[in-house]
Structure 1
Amino acid sequence: MSHPPFRYTLILVSVGLSTALAAVGGWRYARASAPLAGPIIVISIDSLRPDHLPAYGYRKVETPAIDELANSGVVFERAFAHAPQTLPSHAALLSGRLPFETGVRDDTGGSVRPGERLLAQMLRERGYATGGVVSSSLLRQETGIGQGFDFFDAEMPVDPSARAAGRVQRDGAHSEQIAEQWLETVGGSRAFLLLHLNEPHKPYAPPDRFSQYSPYDGEIAYADEIVGRLVRYLKTHQLYDRSTIVLLSDHGEGLGDHGEQEHGLFLYDETIRVPLIIKQEGNARAGARVSDVVQLIDLVPTILDLVQAPTPGSLRGRSLEPLLDGGSRRPGQAVYSEALYGRYLFGWSELASVTDGRYRYIRAPREELYDLERDPNERDNLLVPGPQENLSNLGNPANPERAVQALAEALDRLTSGTAPAVPTSSASLPDPKDTYQILEAYRSAVELASAGEWSKAIGLLQRIVREHPELVEAWNQLARSAYRIDRYDVALGAYKHLIALRPSEPAGYIGAAEALVKLKRLEDARAEAARAADVATDRAARVSAHELLVRIALARRDAEAARAGAGRVHDIDPSVPMPTYVDARLLYDQGHYADALPLFEQAIAELKKAGGLPMADLHYYAADTLERAARPQEAEVWFLEELRYFPGNTRARGGLASLYHATGRPDEADKILSEMIETRKDPESYSLAARLWQSFGKIRQAAAIRAEARKIFSY
């Protein structure tokens, strides 16, 4: 058999190689010369650790949807968040700026500034329809995280017991359905979607079909199932291949690796390293992996590059497009992260860290330095003297003193000219490494309260405040828990301690006033509410204090004070129809229901027109008045509307149950009462259910629920 001449073979190889290079070059030219033709979708999965995903080598759970994205996209192996909390992390990744620049540094007490330009607004200016669907109240509309979105859905079907524990969320499957519906309305091509899933956030409660996994991994499997539904939707509508899909997490989860079970306190890998997978349009560079250190603030400049939009000069992040294209590696960078949860919640020192390709430096009262190559689990602090830190044992010429100096200087450069990440006064505050057990005990108490085990929660909180009386949040949680089970004297005492610790903040005075109302000490309640109004500085707190003064005046039958207070509320926030509501309540309390009804309806119309926040009891009183007027169908609508916004309103649930019973719907009445007991788990719900079942003629059911209440709430 004759063989072709060597020169001929070389020519064929050269032609083939030239063709391949031309194809690659053509693809890169096409990428450079044309913006994206399909939707841009960011899927943020809360609290997801990359080392619990098969795409990152984990083998104890199956995630076929995420695996498909990884196989179709580019996997970034070393991506890091800037805060181990939901709101500050999302504010950073959607703005391209660090937490101390956005001003959002904790999940509570802060919001995105009205002038902050987020990714949604930047894309909307390029002609994109922008939609956001979130699954946690930590990202509710009031936080400002929805700025720039044409459509932003953050409505939570609230579990009242979850509200007490600060965990208000909705099933990610519901959020995904809403996202599909929105994509359907906008057509999909030039659309930007943010879909946030709260699984696998605590409390871990995966569906039973994932019971073969640990609770945390089971929630990951459920989140993957939800991602799979969105992927199927995109494929069904011929959008998948055209889509740019970014899958990431806002932070990780401690799982006890350094003592912390959840997140927020520490800045180790388990809480700030996150998955980052980018599936590009046309599945370009499918299956590629990138080991460079990258960060969540790189997302905004990357997407702006992909849509050929100018990148604002104020952004800290760098575009990942060169890495997506398979270009040369970028110069190394130090990633900044901070944790202020311990400072804001308990008064402990905050932490700040920088992570580069080799080391992580954590600035704290006792500094930490870890060699992430040799010690990926961060067990050996190189700044702690001891045999394990002996340089002769390191087996390499690494110099920890030089590394810590370089990283500390990098941290200083990152934060220069801004609000300091760690004020100098923090050096005298407790180091979270020494106090994390207190946080874990507190979180256990919150979990007990969420499960309705109020007495155990209160006992644990009382032990915590005995040992650590300076902990404001422990007193606060104790007060809220005691209030829920009618232990108003305990709640009042806790609020008094809160006032002593924070005399310039209104929350303690408001809580004390509400407990005093329950104890029927109305004059004392009025005095505490007045103090709250005196110290309140922001509008929301001033409105809350003056609304409480109005409610106390109504309870005291002081019409003049109620009307005066209503006027003050309206002056502070014109969107609150308090004057009309008070006029209606005064007539209602006198039994003039026919006269009160049009005023309740007017107040509802005023609230809707002004776009104000939902107002507690407004729809309840309108519904109750309609029911008294023998208009049950209209009453049902308003009862349901009250429960939509305030699902913990037992009077509204009781009123709806009575309406169902009166209109021949006993099964629905029973369901409403059973749901009330299950979700609230407090004496008020048990007592109301027993009274109503007794009035419905269900004597044995009423007796059983009273017996159950005595067993649960005997103290």
Structure 2
Amino acid sequence: MRGAKPVRIGAMLVLLLVPHLSAPGALDAAGIRHVLLVTLDTARADRLGCYGHREAVTPRLDGLAQKGVQFLKAYTPTPLTFPAHCSVMTGTLPVYHQARNNGFYYLEEGIPTLAEAFRSAGYRTAGFVASFVLDSRFGLGRGFERYDDDMKEGEALKNYRSERNAREVVDAFLPWLAKNARDPFFAWVHFYDPHLPYDPPPPFRDGLPGSPYDGEIAFVDSELGRILDALEEQRILDDTLIVVAGDHGEALGDHREIDHGLFLYEAAVRVPLLFVHGRALPRGKTVPAAVRLTDVMPTVLELAGLPKAKSVQGVSLMPWIGGRKSADLPVYLETYYPFETFGWSELKGITDGRWKLVQAPRPELYDLASDPRETVDLFEREASRARKMMRDLRDLIERSARPAPSPTRPLSTRDQERLRSLGYLGGGRPEAPETGPKADPKDRIDDYLLHHRGGLMEGEGNLAAALECYDELARRNTGVPSYAVSAAFVLMKMDRTAEAIALLEKARARFPSSALVFSRLMSFYLKAERWNEAIAAGKALLDLWPDDFDALFLSGSAYAMLGKWDEALELYEGALRVEPENKLLRQRHAFALAAVGRTEESLAAYRKLKDEFPGDHVFDLDIGQVYERTGQIVQARLTLEAAVRRHPGPDTYHAYALVLAKAGMFPEAVRWMRAYVSAAPETDGARRARALVLIAEWEKRKKPADQ
């Protein structure tokens, strides 16, 4: 995980419910030693029981609303996971932090975060996230002592799976809570389950068969209940400030939008927001004013007695909670998803709680009081109001924007695959020169639905239909490289490798500066074992993005396949500077050290990996190979013998048998290779066939006394 130096912020005394901070004082001056932030991804506010959904099964969330403060009109600044969380964690708008989308932006280190404020004040800090979209590489891990973004424990590639469910997140969080419950802490738990595809586990799938989306929210509610129960068992529930916030909503077909990100309608930008504390906050309080996710950070900091950074653009909501203020706050809205995915116009908007303006090629104006579902566009009828709100929007952007380039990063091959699996199929900005005005997303809704259908068909395994969708989208949107990439990806799934590579080579000629195209082409060359072409594509990608993890790691792997270990080692070390925690990379790096003769450094690296991941047998297999390569056969045999005891299975049996044969111990080698043959999975056909040949050879080499 990459991290910045923590911002040093001293603890401050606060008079509860008073909006002004006092002089420096004790850590828990406000009586709040524990803070738990829970973010509900893709949680549409009006699908929770406490927000009026009669069919909802959300007793724990409803209970929190009754015990604390419920904000009835809370807004996200953007209906996208990563930039919305950046706003929560920094108290700034996207025009300031400049993260506009998922996957190829990162949070700049100079912007103070909520976690940094708590950590510098002496709190233990930990984050547990459920989606690759919030991986530490994107910068949200700053300030957290522990940032748990491992999508599957023990997996060779970090985040090889794109998400984990609520139960897995809570299973990761509860041991940390048990260990740190006596210390002041700030913890963040993120749930991703209500995101497409909706597939709640039983009994939530069975209990709400007509609405799997509601079933996902019910499942999250149940798992949140496990956290609340654990806080009660630790006797700190009433001493914990609990903040529950949605990051964005879900359209569910409103305005023909399936999910979120395309438009700025209420279904996607209104979110649940709850603040609960047993003593510091009122019970059963509702706040009808419009508030923002940017207000979460300053409110939490005031309650904890900590000052906010100068960069924070939100305000503390304590005056609204205390009843001293009631006015709606001005709300800024934006989505760059239409532009960066489809090449259409981005959307920006503003609402004052009643009137809402959306700036688009065809602007829109709605009266939310009389038309909450936004069905009647009043932009022309209310022209003077629309002009005023246009000026208000322009002024808000000018006041809030930070004059700095957007902090983007290239989208690696694995990143693309994860984002595709999460429904973000575009994954790259249009790169053809703009020759005219950008299309209004409202006018391209059929393309959006075709895009969605392509992803749906691909997910269901109907690859021919998916390919037709992507080919048609590429024809309609010639300036967007991602559709060629999506089509090529489907061709690879269909084992049409040569066609996939040819398609991307054409895309490379059309988009010569597209990191997206080069990254995917590089991975396809590797799959086709065209090592030198993969290296050439990696070099082109590194010329564009010198710190691209994918190019560094995969180029190193290509050089390793060619036996060029010095070059491989150099590239692996570059990749480690980008992702020092990547387990598979560290393993490859350790092996490369041995391959260039730096045996002791290699073994030290492997020992560290074993200490961190004691349940992973692959390190023993590699260590055995290192000893064998350096002629230390006895050490190799002892290492693999121990591996067989600790991790019995086909891999350890096979490796142990080979080193026994190398040591001339053929009877034992035959015994363990037979054990491998018995345990080998069906997919291990080629290695199993070779093992049978070796057994026959070793049988012949047994000494007469062995017969």
TM-score by length of 2: 0.75
Is the Cα–Cα contact under 8 Å of residues 346 and 472 in structure 1 kept in the other structure?
no
For 1:499-538, what aligned pairs fall within 5 Å after superposition? 499-519=508-528, 521-538=530-547
Displacement of 1:417: 5.6
SS at match of 1:208: coil
CA distance in 2 between counterparts of 1:529 and 1:470 reads 23
The equivalent of 2:51 in structure 1 is: 56
2:566 to 563, 566, 571: 563
Is the Cα–Cα contact under 8 Å of residues 241 and 283 in structure 1 kept in the other structure?
no
The farther-off stretch of 354-363 and 520-529 is 520-529
The equivalent of 1:357 in structure 2 is: 353
CA distance in 1 between counterparts of 2:680 and 2:575 reads 40
CA distance in 2 between counterparts of 1:639 and 1:482 reads 38
CA spacing shift, 1:146–1:521, aligned 2, 3 Å: closer
Is the Cα–Cα contact under 8 Å of residues 302 and 316 in structure 2 kept in the other structure?
yes
SS at match of 1:282: coil
The farther-off stretch of 367-376 and 440-449 is 440-449
The equivalent of 2:201 in structure 1 is: 207
For 1:616-635, what aligned pairs fall within 5 Å after superposition? 631=640, 634=643
1:116 to 96, 111, 121: 111
Q: Which runs of 5+ in 2 are unaligned?
A: 1-14, 23-28, 407-428, 613-617, 629-635, 652-670, 693-707
For 1:341-490, what aligned pairs fall within 5 Å after superposition? 341-383=337-379, 389=381, 400-415=385-400, 418=403, 428-490=437-499
For 1:116-155, what aligned pairs fall within 5 Å after superposition? 116-155=111-150
The equivalent of 2:172 in structure 1 is: 178
Is the Cα–Cα contact under 8 Å of residues 335 and 346 in structure 2 kept in the other structure?
yes
Q: Which amino acid aligns with 2:52?
A: G
2:283 to 275, 282, 286: 286
2:552 to 527, 543, 558: 543
The farther-off stretch of 599-608 and 196-205 is 599-608
CA distance in 1 between counterparts of 2:46 and 2:254 reads 12
Q: Which amino acid aligns with 1:502?
A: F
Q: Does 1:304 align with 2:301?
A: yes
**How many residue pairs are counted as aligned between the two chains?**
608
Is the Cα–Cα contact under 8 Å of residues 124 and 130 in structure 1 kept in the other structure?
yes
Q: Which amino acid aligns with 2:355?
A: Y
CA spacing shift, 1:562–1:455, aligned 2, 3 Å: farther
The equivalent of 1:36 in structure 2 is: 31
Displacement of 1:43: 0.8
Displacement of 1:344: 1.9
Displacement of 1:216: 0.3
Displacement of 1:490: 2.4
SS at match of 1:258: helix
SS at match of 2:356: strand
CA distance in 2 between counterparts of 1:328 and 1:44 reads 26
CA distance in 2 between counterparts of 1:485 and 1:629 reads 43
Is the Cα–Cα contact under 8 Å of residues 73 and 270 in structure 2 kept in the other structure?
yes
CA distance in 2 between counterparts of 1:636 and 1:439 reads 55
CA spacing shift, 1:242–1:585, aligned 2, 3 Å: same
CA distance in 1 between counterparts of 2:461 and 2:509 reads 29
SS at match of 1:428: coil
Displacement of 1:381: 1.8
CA distance in 2 between counterparts of 1:154 and 1:305 reads 28
Q: Which amino acid aligns with 2:570?
A: G
Is the Cα–Cα contact under 8 Å of residues 492 and 511 in structure 1 kept in the other structure?
no
CA distance in 2 between counterparts of 1:343 and 1:691 reads 48
Displacement of 1:227: 1.1
1:315-351, Cα deviation, whole Å (9 max, x unpaired): 1101011122232324x43211211122222222211
CA spacing shift, 1:530–1:565, aligned 2, 3 Å: same
CA distance in 1 between counterparts of 2:435 and 2:35 reads 42
Structure number with the higher helix fraction is 1
Is the Cα–Cα contact under 8 Å of residues 677 and 688 in structure 2 kept in the other structure?
no
1:231 to 228, 233, 237: 228
2:259 to 257, 262, 267: 262
Displacement of 1:479: 2.1
CA spacing shift, 1:337–1:618, aligned 2, 3 Å: farther
Q: Which amino acid aligns with 1:111?
A: Y
Q: Which amino acid aligns with 1:504?
A: S
Q: Which amino acid aligns with 2:566?
A: R
Q: Does 1:107 align with 2:102?
A: yes
SS at match of 2:152: coil
For 1:633-648, what aligned pairs fall within 5 Å after superposition? 634=643
Displacement of 1:114: 2.1
CA spacing shift, 1:459–1:116, aligned 2, 3 Å: same
CA spacing shift, 1:84–1:501, aligned 2, 3 Å: farther
The equivalent of 1:340 in structure 2 is: 336
1:455-493, Cα deviation, whole Å (9 max, x unpaired): 443343233324434332222222223224422112202
Is the Cα–Cα contact under 8 Å of residues 449 and 457 in structure 1 kept in the other structure?
yes
The equivalent of 2:152 in structure 1 is: 157
The farther-off stretch of 124-133 and 39-48 is 124-133
CA distance in 2 between counterparts of 1:32 and 1:599 reads 52
SS at match of 2:30: coil
Displacement of 1:127: 2.4
Displacement of 1:62: 1.5
2:502 to 470, 489, 493: 493
Displacement of 1:692: 7.3
CA distance in 2 between counterparts of 1:55 and 1:579 reads 52
For 1:5-44, what aligned pairs fall within 5 Å after superposition? 34-44=29-39
CA spacing shift, 1:58–1:283, aligned 2, 3 Å: farther
CA spacing shift, 1:669–1:437, aligned 2, 3 Å: farther
The farther-off stretch of 69-78 and 463-472 is 463-472
Q: Does 1:75 align with 2:70?
A: yes
Displacement of 1:408: 3.3
Displacement of 1:508: 2.4
SS at match of 2:162: coil
CA spacing shift, 1:452–1:243, aligned 2, 3 Å: same
CA spacing shift, 1:271–1:27, aligned 2, 3 Å: closer
Q: Which amino acid aligns with 1:379?
A: T
Q: Which amino acid aligns with 2:53?
A: Y
Is the Cα–Cα contact under 8 Å of residues 88 and 106 in structure 1 kept in the other structure?
yes
Is the Cα–Cα contact under 8 Å of residues 101 and 336 in structure 2 kept in the other structure?
yes
Q: Which amino acid aligns with 1:285?
A: P
Displacement of 1:573: 5.3
Displacement of 1:96: 0.7
The equivalent of 2:40 in structure 1 is: 45
Percent identity of paired positions between Structure 1 and Structure 2: 27
CA spacing shift, 1:599–1:408, aligned 2, 3 Å: closer
Displacement of 1:694: 8.5
SS at match of 2:190: strand
The equivalent of 1:328 in structure 2 is: 325
CA distance in 1 between counterparts of 2:41 and 2:384 reads 37
The equivalent of 1:5 in structure 2 is: none
CA spacing shift, 1:623–1:289, aligned 2, 3 Å: farther
Displacement of 1:625: 8.0
Is the Cα–Cα contact under 8 Å of residues 622 and 638 in structure 1 kept in the other structure?
no
Q: Which amino acid aligns with 2:365?
A: L
Is the Cα–Cα contact under 8 Å of residues 336 and 414 in structure 1 kept in the other structure?
no
The equivalent of 2:704 in structure 1 is: none
1:476-528, Cα deviation, whole Å (9 max, x unpaired): 22222322442211220232243134312344234334434544555544544
